[in-house]
Amino acid sequence: MSLGTAGTIPVTILSGSLGAGKTTLLNHVLRNAADRKIAVLVNDMGELNVDAELVSEESELSVADGTVAELSNGCICCELQDDLETAVVRLARERDFDHLVVEPSGISEPAPVARLFTGGSPAAARYDVDAVVAVVDARLFADTFESDGTPEQTVAEGGEDERRPLSDLLVEQVEFANVVVLNKRDLVTDEELARVESVVRALRPDAEIVTAEHSTVPIASVLGTGSFDPQTAAERAGWRQVLGEGEAESDGNDEHGHGDGHDHGHDENDGHAHDHTHPEEAYGIDSFVYERRRPFHPERVASVLGDLPDSVVRAKGSMWVAGREAAHLTYSQAGPSAYVEATGRWIASLPEFEQKAYRDNRSDLGFEWDETWGDRRTGLVFIGRDVDEESLSAALDDCLLTDEEMDAAWDEFENPFPAEPGERTTLAEPSVEE
């Protein structure tokens, strides 16, 4: 078997929405791989793995002889994780190849797939992620984030009745990728392409962007790049860089929903701070950070965050909401969809000995501990085009508790937000045609 410099096999993960051109790109790579020996793992949500058949038909690889492995009727980022690990370990043991290409289904998130190859699993011992490539349908992306109307696309998730906005998935795939292929370039105007590229650049500032028609790209842009860094992959998203996070924000990696490394820099005089930055201005994208050390009124803030201006493309961060003193809430907005999830506990809500142990083990929390409220705070980043920072900040300030409300019984407020880790409240979602 031909191995990499560390004795491991490089892996390229091809993510992208349904119909973006992943399989077309995969076949292009296989036809132009020169002397590279490539193995492929294809995942399809249906019982019939159509993509695996297409790869076999258009290349010398074969499902029958094992050079194309297929996982069907499930998603490898969730239900089929064990099957994925078994398949790639078996491939490495039974086949001689130089590079593995994994094509998840169009509704898969790339991060869980990449983690399989970077953790302490048997697969991680045999492979190294070379690149995570997001194939973007430029026409769909332009329509989803730039159209005047409300996008109506959703994708299934979990059970038959569970659906999520397509914009969520598009954003997550781009934010985790270190190579973004803007495919179907021929279906958008130069102006639309520039706008799409500016949004992609805001979502993932350091990504290599390649434009393409019919997924025809230089092979060197997707194979042998050596551009994936498992230590920083999840931290390179634009919103994280705007917040200046040194560590992953609360995403389930920490039992208390912390480890976010925010520098919230609040003003001790009035409990308010408002630092802002405007990265990537050359791409027509603005961003700013909204930070406060006073809780939101649940109904007022739900109304504002559920109806952000169309100019906001992406927003994410931590929230302190009155009546949810224990729940560390994370807000996420992508285009027309917005939700709040309880991602852990505020450190200040834990028993005193646990608080002390946590703080002793984290000499640099990334924020100043408040003697009354501890680590409870809000830090939200907003990314978009021509966002009225002053107006949006004022609207959010109006959602903060008044002095009178600070002295009220917070548990008597009507509260739509989740209370337990893992629970989620949807604030906005695109309409779906029946």
- Residue ranges of the domains in the chain? 9-234, 238-428
123-134 mean pLDDT? 87
Contacts of 159 (CB under 8 A, 6+ apart): none
- What class is the 9-234 domain? alpha beta
Which of the residue ranges 144-153, 213-222, 381-390 would you say has the lowest mean pLDDT? 144-153
112-121 mean pLDDT? 79
Q: Is the pLDDT of residue 353 over 60?
A: yes
Judged on CB neighbours under 10 Å (0-12, 13-18, 19+), 121 is middle
100-114 mean pLDDT? 76
Which range has the top average pLDDT, 83-92, 213-222, 229-238, 281-290? Answer: 213-222
In eight-state DSSP terms, residue 374 is B
Q: Is the pLDDT of residue 48 over 50?
A: no
What's residue 43's pLDDT?
64
Q: Find the angle CA(334)-CA(337)-CA(340) to the nearest 5 degrees.
A: 90
209-232 mean pLDDT? 87
Report how far residue 343's alpha carbon sits from residue 421's, in angstroms, rounded to the nearest whole number.
5
pLDDT band for position 328 (cuts 50, 70, 90): very high
37-58 mean pLDDT? 51
Classify residue 381 as left (phi > 0), alpha (psi -120 to 50) or beta: beta
Q: What percent of the chain has pLDDT over 90?
A: 25
Q: What is the pTM of this model?
A: 0.60
Q: Is the pLDDT of residue 96 over 90?
A: no
Number of other residues whose CB lies within 10 A of the CB of residue 94: 10
Report how far residue 390's alpha carbon sits from residue 397's, in angstroms, rounded to the nearest whole number.
10
Which of the residue ranges 118-122, 303-307, 387-391 would you say has the lowest mean pLDDT? 118-122
Q: Is the pLDDT of residue 412 over 90?
A: yes
pLDDT band for position 269 (cuts 50, 70, 90): very low
Q: What percent of the chain has pLDDT over 70?
A: 68
What's residue 148's pLDDT?
39
Report how far residue 161's alpha carbon sits from residue 197's, in angstroms, rounded to the nearest whole number.
33
Q: Is the Cβ–Cβ distance between 162 and 156 less than 8 Å?
A: yes
Number of other residues whose CB lies within 10 A of the CB of residue 209: 16
Q: Is the pLDDT of residue 210 over 90?
A: yes
What's residue 227's pLDDT?
83
Q: Of 310 and 42, which is predicted with more confidence? A: 310
Report how far residue 110's alpha carbon sits from residue 117's, in angstroms, rounded to the nearest whole number.
11
122-141 mean pLDDT? 87
pLDDT band for position 310 (cuts 50, 70, 90): confident
In eight-state DSSP terms, residue 368 is P
What's residue 419's pLDDT?
93
CATH of domain 238-428: 3.30.1220.10
Q: Is the pLDDT of residue 25 over 80?
A: yes
What's residue 68's pLDDT?
53
Q: Is the pLDDT of residue 155 over 50?
A: no
pLDDT band for position 61 (cuts 50, 70, 90): very low
Q: Is the Cβ–Cβ distance between 200 and 136 less than 8 Å?
A: yes
Report how far residue 157's alpha carbon sits from residue 113's, in angstroms, rounded to the nearest whole number.
16
Q: Find the angle CA(109)-CA(112)-CA(116) to the nearest 5 degrees.
A: 140
Q: Is the pLDDT of residue 408 over 90?
A: yes
Which of the residue ranges 46-55, 358-367, 393-402 would you say has the lowest mean pLDDT? 46-55
Element (H, E) at 341: strand 337-345
Cα dihedral sign, 256-262-266-268: positive
Mean pLDDT of the chain: 74
Q: Of 88 and 392, which is predicted with more confidence? A: 392
